Chains A and B, each alone.
Chain A
Amino acid sequence: MIRVKNVGLQYGDGPEVLSNINFTLAAGSFHFLTGRCGAGKSSLLRMLYLGHRPSRGYMEMFGKDISQLDAHELPEIRRRVGVVFQDFRLVSHLTVFENVALPLSIDGRPQQEYTRDVEELLNWVGLGDRLDHYPELLSGGEQQQVAIARAVIASPQLLLADEPTGSVDSEIGERLLGLLMELNRQGATLLIATHDTGLLERHRHHAGELHLEEGGRLRQLPPVRAKAG
């Protein structure tokens, strides 16, 4: 589904923040993206949600060579990617319902077509009674739940999450991670950027790892097999 070969990424004329990146994400797989602060995790995610195209190398998403796509073809690829941003990026003048419905709204779907889906999803994440609330009235965990709901409402094939448990306590963190894993079980490819080692240890037996090292290089590690007995 995602193939990245010898990719480099730089912003403007600056130095490369990612160098010779190689990895593959199979459809329906689950990976953590790890590395020290400043290693380039957010840049890698940004490249995958097409916020910035690679400066060099080959990147294939959903069977398409990204470097060959025209600008007008990118929105279709982006709509197949759900993103949970580290800072949530909820829209302050839109209600919880409107925030979650945003990906469907920008796709031009009529509201009556998606109202039920949005309400069901918000019920599922536990915010069914907050549909008309504005983000500023929600706690950090609730805002994160809204961000996750918005990322998955359009049933993306690739789900990217940048530190989704970073601003909530461990109990809520596990609950949010449970939501993302449930979506992964339903078929979405999942890539979670985190530096929460505890979270990583608890789930590395069923999740692979992309580890960014110093100098913007990357190692891909398979899930760790659980020890017998």
Chain B
Amino acid sequence: MLIPHSKVLPRKMPGSRLLPLVIAVNVYLASLAILGGLALIAATGQWASEMDQLVTVQVPPESGVSGDAVVKSVLGVLRDHPAVAQARALELSEMEALLAPWLGQSAAVRELPLPQLIDVEMRPEGDLDSLRNRLEAEFPGVELDDHRLWRDQMHSVATTARLVCLSLVVLISLAAIAVIIFATQASLESQNELVALMHLIGARNSFVAGEFQKYFLGIGVTGVLIGLVPVVLTIGLIIYFTGNDPAPWMGRLALGPTDYILAASPPLIAVLITMFTARITVLRTLAVLD
């Protein structure tokens, strides 16, 4: 086996028998939290980039009979402006569809003094302020909505969700550390005669700590392997039930190398936490012997 095992400690020690299961659960929960966080980041990133490119121009209804002419003029200004990639006035049916959730499908909607909406797609790095200034100067009453309120709210929600995911991972890690400290102390307690003997015949503290580290490395790897099974099953189930398009709630799930490293981090972190928590606990305990 690739994992080194201790030559002096017993194969099983009291206090650590259920530790692989605890680590497995922690790995599963941490992986879910990170996967959820990645999905949120992907979704909000996609929404934000789309919203950053889209603005809406409203031509108010009091423009009167000459309203169509104003809309044409606004469209002309928009299409000539260097910051604009394209601009399109919404059809009446499209505006009715937008209002349907609030006003229903009534024909009376057509009688309402609705503003004319123009969808504008900005060029990347397009100067929005210059466009706004131009419209305000030439068409008083015409408004440019850059969806800043929605965008800010979405950023706020995404940031909160990310912090929640991060907090979950930190809490799960802290819980794992606490359990491992307890298990290491219990294992040390069960082997205090052996530890004292090794100490008296000249073992360095680092050697004793290294032996416990090897033991807990084996436990950590076992726990990680057990924990990875439900992680893989969960991902498989999500993909299975969402068919070929898991995108609706996960954005495009376009994961990059950093995302894969993040997604793979709980098992690695679990193994490292297990090893080093055990090592530090043993070193702290042995330090008082001299």
Contacts and interface: CB of A to CB of B under 8 A. Distances in A.
Task: Indicate whether A and B interact.
Answer: yes
A103 B202 contact: yes
Interface string B35-75: 00000000000000000000000000000000000000000
A153 to B, nearest CB: 10
A106 B200 contact: no
A105 B8 contact: yes
Contacts of A79: 201-202
Interface in B247-290: 287, 290
Interface in A98-133: 98, 102-103, 105-108, 111
A108 B201 contact: no
B194 interface: yes
B101 interface: no
A93 B10 contact: yes
Nearest to A71: B290
Interface in B194-253: 194, 197-198, 200-205, 207
A75 B8 contact: no
B129 interface: no
Nearest to B197: A89
Residue among B11, B194, B204, B205 having the largest count of chain A Cβ atoms under 10 Å: B204
Interface residues of A, number: 27
Nearest to A69: B290
Given A89-B193, A91-B194, A93-B10, A103 B290 contact: no
Interface in A57-90: 71-72, 74-81, 83, 89
Contacts, number: 51
A51 interface: yes
B167 to A, nearest CB: 40
Contacts of A76: 202
A30 interface: no
A74 B290 contact: yes
Contact of A51 (B7, B194, B200): B200
A93 B10 CA distance: 6
Interface residues of B, number: 17
A106 B207 contact: yes
Contacts of B7: 98, 105, 111
A91 B8 contact: yes
B192 to A, nearest CB: 12
B202 A106 contact: yes
Contacts of B287: 71
A75 B202 contact: yes
Nearest to B7: A105
Contacts of A98: 7-8
B151 to A, nearest CB: 59
Interface in B178-201: 193-194, 197-198, 200-201
Interface in A156-214: none
A83 B199 CA distance: 12
B207 A49 contact: no
Contact of B201 (A72, A78, A111): A78
Given A74-B290, A108-B207, A83 B198 contact: no
A106 B198 contact: yes
A103 B10 contact: no
Nearest to B208: A106
A195 to B, nearest CB: 23
Given A71-B290, A89-B193, A83 B207 contact: no
A27 interface: no
Interface of A: 49-51, 71-72, 74-81, 83, 89, 91, 93-94, 98, 102-103, 105-108, 111, 150
For the complex of A and B, the 7 pairs showing the least CB-CB separation, nearest first, are: A79-B202, A71-B290, A78-B202, A106-B203, A93-B10, A75-B202, A75-B204
Given A71-B287, A75-B204, A91-B194, 4 more contacts: A79-B202, A93-B11, A102-B198, A103-B201
6 contacts: A49-B200, A78-B200, A78-B202, A80-B202, A103-B202, A106-B203
